[in-house]
């Protein structure tokens, strides 16, 4: 065995792809944990079909997991992979167009038989027809080698074949100089009391590693040094987990119980799953009979004194909107979380989109303002959820938190916060020694003081009918209604006085301002860093609160020749910005169910800057 070359790289993007039953999500998450553990920065994107078990071998049954890792900051899961692990022909066919020119492809040749080729709709075998000439191809008979590695074990062929993803994982561990311990440890936990499965998967992992080390096919291993991240303790976190943790923390810091009313829906269900585990935090999760019951129970819990939350995706919001109106009218602090997905209707349930912004703004009857906050990335979901709950409680208002399928399932390292340094949330209680006036307001925030059931002397009735200012009695008086409509709008308008302005990256004037929100943060940050590296000037502001818009925006938005708003929709923030600021902003819009690509954004920025020269 000759000594192999080790080449140092700054960043790598790998895509693990196979049939939806091949365990690619698991393989990807193991690679992610190991990569996080050795100190690389990273970002991941699982991409799986909506069908739970789509027909084997077909292109629509392909499940992929992409990870970008680096010795410097990573903001996206990567535009195009450098390395593709293709476990079958369909996985190759689906992911090849995305692969970098001259990229590496590791192929499980055992699955490239005529049946699988025809299931994937391939007329000839890519291993033989020259279609892969532009790439570095590593053909490996993964299935056979896995069976060989496990030949002494008394297991069925079916079970042995299920270990082949660990063989593939082992190869990538060698190739990118990763240790196997994290995964070995995980296997021991996962298959507690199932020693044969621990042994089989560990053997497959090690066999893959040794194969890559010893065979002549692989000539180079790569090393991606540790990233210089802020010091502290980290863990990997998905956006949905971040939201769950943020909510639990907000409830603790507000001295309230957390109540989640929810109906299962992709891609939001993982928040329900995560919160269901934490009964010992006084977390009450209620799997309701439908979306409406989910939000209704949450609102009931709010009325009774819990931090009430409902989680869903766009179609669920459509069903919840009447209750959201009731929360506006009764001015109760309800947190509504929309993990956006491709729409309209059922749309693309497992894919990402930012197309529910206008729904969040305007999707209710009447003048019905609700503050809207958007999370920028998986780790940011923690803060965004905490902030949404804080504003809801402090302003006695429903708040909408927008996330999306990409950051909900994607992961990145999360710097674990110091619990003691997270500020408390203070909720004002009405005095019990004077007549309770349900719609009397705090002069600063215009919030009302909600008397909780169980408080003697403060018995009162509220509901969806218009209320008289201060007393809260039912009122049909025209002038009172006009006044109340304006008060509700003014109250939400004041939220921006109590939240941080978003950061303006770059100068407050110039040729180009990029304005953005939500999960496009990563791809845009990567593009902006690249433009700045080239010595060109571009300013960027990423909005966190969308309703109300931040105070500082009006100070600089008119100072640029071009305002560019990249979104995964047909220009929803664009419409709002044009209407609010009378500025001739332009959009950059891709609605492919996937995160924006940094490279395409760069090309667009380049075009704009050249046009202005």
Kindly write out the interface string for residues 388-417 of this chain, putting x where it contacts another protein by CB under 8 A and - elsewhere. ----------------------------xx
Determine the Cα–Cα distance for residues 32 and 18; give it in Å rounded to an integer: 17
Place of tokens 């621990």: 198
Q: How far is the CB of 30 from another protein (least distance, A)?
A: 11
Q: Which is nearer to another protein, 102 or 280 (CB)?
A: 280
C-alpha distances in angstroms, 493 versus 55, 172, 548? 51, 52, 5
Kindly write out the interface string for residues 164-203 of this chain, putting x where it contacts another protein by CB under 8 A and - elsewhere. ------------------x---x-----------------
Helix axes of 164-175 and 24-37: crossing angle, nearest 10 degrees: 30
Contact 518, 595 (CB under 8 A): no
Dihedral sign from CA coordinates of 126, 127, 131, 134: positive
Helix axes of 164-175 and 181-190: crossing angle, nearest 10 degrees: 160
Q: How far is the CB of 417 from another protein (least distance, A)?
A: 7
Q: Under the criterion CB under 8 A, does residue 252 sit at the interface with another protein?
A: yes
- Residue 102: which residues within 8 A CB-CB, separation 6 or more? 134, 135, 136
Q: How far is the CB of 206 from another protein (least distance, A)?
A: 20
Q: Which is nearer to another protein, 306 or 539 (CB)?
A: 306
Q: How far is the CB of 227 from another protein (least distance, A)?
A: 8
Q: How far is the CB of 473 from another protein (least distance, A)?
A: 7
Return the residue of 119, 326, 339, 513 that touches another protein, per CB under 8 A. Answer: 326
**Which structure tokens are listed for 73?**
């900051």
376 DSSP assignment:
-
Number of Cβ within a 10 Å radius of residue 557: 20
Return the residue of 12, 36, 200, 574 that touches another protein, per CB under 8 A. Answer: 36
Do the strands 510-517 and 539-543 form a parallel or antiparallel pair, or are they unpaired?
parallel
Q: 18: buried, middle or exposed (CB in 10 Å: 19+, 13-18, 0-12)?
A: buried
Contact 22, 89 (CB under 8 A): no
Q: Which is nearer to another protein, 209 or 286 (CB)?
A: 286
Q: How far is the CB of 194 from another protein (least distance, A)?
A: 21
Q: Which is nearer to another protein, 471 or 589 (CB)?
A: 471
Buried b (16+ CB within 10 A) or exposed e, 34-60: bbbebbbbbbbbbbbbeeeebeebbbe
Q: What is the side-by-side order of every strand in the sheet holding 83-86?
A: 41-47, 62-70, 11-19, 83-86, 104-108, 136-140
Q: Which is nearer to another protein, 106 or 301 (CB)?
A: 301
Q: Which is nearer to another protein, 47 or 274 (CB)?
A: 274
The residue range among 109-117, 251-259, 484-492, 561-569 that interacts with another protein, by the rule CB under 8 A, is 251-259
3-state secondary structure of 64: strand
190: left (phi over 0), alpha (psi -120 to 50) or beta: alpha
> Which positions from 210 through 229 interact with another protein, judged by CB under 8 A?
229
Residue 412: closest CA among 25, 45, 82 = 45
Return the residue of 92, 224, 297, 437 that touches another protein, per CB under 8 A. Answer: 297
Q: Under the criterion CB under 8 A, does residue 438 sit at the interface with another protein?
A: no
Q: Under the criterion CB under 8 A, does residue 473 sit at the interface with another protein?
A: yes
Q: Under the criterion CB under 8 A, does residue 301 sit at the interface with another protein?
A: yes
Contact 573, 357 (CB under 8 A): yes
Q: Which is nearer to another protein, 58 or 238 (CB)?
A: 238
Q: Which is nearer to another protein, 82 or 380 (CB)?
A: 380
Q: Under the criterion CB under 8 A, does residue 317 sit at the interface with another protein?
A: no
Determine the Cα–Cα distance for residues 516 and 522; give it in Å rounded to an integer: 11
The residue range among 94-102, 210-218, 450-458, 525-533 that interacts with another protein, by the rule CB under 8 A, is 450-458
Q: How far is the CB of 192 from another protein (least distance, A)?
A: 16
213: left (phi over 0), alpha (psi -120 to 50) or beta: alpha
Kindly write out the interface string for residues 266-295 of this chain, putting x where it contacts another protein by CB under 8 A and - elsewhere. ------------xxxxxxx-x-xxx-xx--
Q: How far is the CB of 476 from another protein (least distance, A)?
A: 11
Return the residue of 123, 133, 459, 479 that touches another protein, per CB under 8 A. Answer: 459
Return the residue of 48, 245, 395, 540 that touches another protein, per CB under 8 A. Answer: 245
Return the residue of 45, 248, 391, 492 that touches another protein, per CB under 8 A. Answer: 248
Do the strands 62-70 and 41-47 form a parallel or antiparallel pair, or are they unpaired?
antiparallel
- Contacting positions for another protein (CB under 8 A): 33, 36-37, 39, 182, 186, 229-236, 245, 248-249, 252, 257, 259, 261, 278-284, 286, 288-290, 292-293, 296-306, 308, 322-323, 325-326, 330, 416-417, 419, 453-465, 473-474
């Amino acid at each position: 065995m000759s000594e192999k070359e080790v080449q140092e790289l700054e960043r790598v993007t790998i895509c693990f792809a196979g049939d939806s039953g091949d365990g690619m999500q698991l393989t990807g998450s193991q690679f992610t944990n190991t990569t996080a553990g050795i100190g690389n920065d990273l970002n991941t994107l699982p991409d799986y079909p909506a069908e739970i078990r789509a027909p084997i071998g077909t292109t629509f049954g392909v499940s992929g997991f992409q990870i970008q890792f680096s010795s410097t900051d990573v903001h996206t899961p990567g535009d195009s992979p450098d390395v593709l692990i293709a476990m079958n022909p369909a996985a190759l066919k689906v992911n090849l167009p995305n692969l970098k020119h001259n990229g590496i492809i590791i192929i499980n040749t055992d699955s490239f038989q005529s049946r699988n080729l025809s299931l994937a709709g391939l007329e000839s075998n890519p291993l033989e027809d020259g279609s892969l000439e532009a790439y570095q191809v590593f053909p490996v008979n993964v299935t056979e080698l896995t069976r060989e590695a496990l030949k002494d074990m008394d297991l069925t062929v079916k079970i042995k074949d299920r270990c082949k993803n660990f063989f593939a994982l082992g190869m990538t561990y060698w190739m990118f100089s990763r240790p196997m311990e994290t995964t070995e440890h995980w296997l021991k936990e996962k298959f507690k009391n199932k020693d044969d499965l621990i042994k089989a998967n560990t053997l497959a992992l090690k066999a893959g590693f040794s194969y890559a080390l010893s065979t002549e096919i692989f000539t180079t291993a790569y090393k991606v040094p540790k990233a210089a991240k802020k010091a502290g303790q980290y863990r990997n976190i998905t956006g949905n987990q971040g939201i769950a943790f943020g909510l639990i923390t907000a409830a603790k810091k507000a001295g309230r119980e957390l109540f989640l009313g929810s109906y299962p829906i992709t891609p939001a269900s993982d928040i329900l799953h995560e919160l269901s585990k934490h009964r010992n935090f006084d977390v009450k999760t209620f799997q309701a009979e439908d979306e409406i019951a989910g939000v209704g129970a949450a609102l009931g819990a709010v009325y009774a004194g819990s931090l009430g939350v409902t989680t869903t995706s766009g179609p669920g919001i459509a069903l919840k909107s009447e209750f959201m109106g009731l929360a506006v009218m009764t001015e109760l602090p309800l947190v509504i979380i929309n993990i956006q997905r491709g729409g309209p209707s059922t749309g693309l349930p497992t894919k990402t989109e930012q197309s529910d912004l206008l729904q969040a703004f305007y999707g209710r009857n009447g003048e019905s303002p609700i503050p809207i906050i958007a999370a920028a990335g998986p780790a940011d979901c923690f803060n965004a959820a905490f902030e949404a709950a804080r504003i809801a409680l402090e302003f006695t208002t429903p708040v909408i938190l927008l996330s999306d399928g990409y950051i909900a399932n994607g992961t990145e390292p999360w710097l674990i916060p110091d619990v003691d340094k997270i500020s408390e949330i203070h909720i004002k209680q009405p005095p019990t020694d004077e007549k309770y006036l349900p719609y009397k307001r705090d002069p600063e925030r215009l919030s009302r003081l909600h008397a909780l059931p169980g408080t003697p002397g403060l018995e009162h009735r509220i509901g969806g009918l218009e209320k008289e200012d201060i007393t809260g009695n039912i009122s049909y008086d025209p002038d009172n209604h006009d006044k109340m409509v304006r008060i509700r709008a003014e109250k939400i308008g004041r939220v921006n006085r109590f939240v941080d302005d978003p950061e303006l990256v770059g100068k407050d004037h110039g040729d180009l301002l990029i304005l953005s929100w939500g999960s496009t943060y990563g791809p845009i940050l990567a593009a902006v860093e690249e433009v700045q590296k080239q010595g060109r000037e571009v300013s960027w502001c990423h909005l966190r609160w969308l309703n109300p818009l931040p105070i500082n925006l009006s100070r600089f938005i008119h100072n640029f020749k071009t305002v560019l708003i990249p979104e995964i929709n047909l220009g929803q923030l664009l419409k709002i910005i044009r209407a609010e600021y009378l500025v001739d902003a332009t959009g950059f819009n891709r609605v492919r169910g996937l995160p924006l690509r940094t490279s395409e954004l760069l090309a667009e920025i380049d075009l704009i800057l050249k046009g202005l020269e």
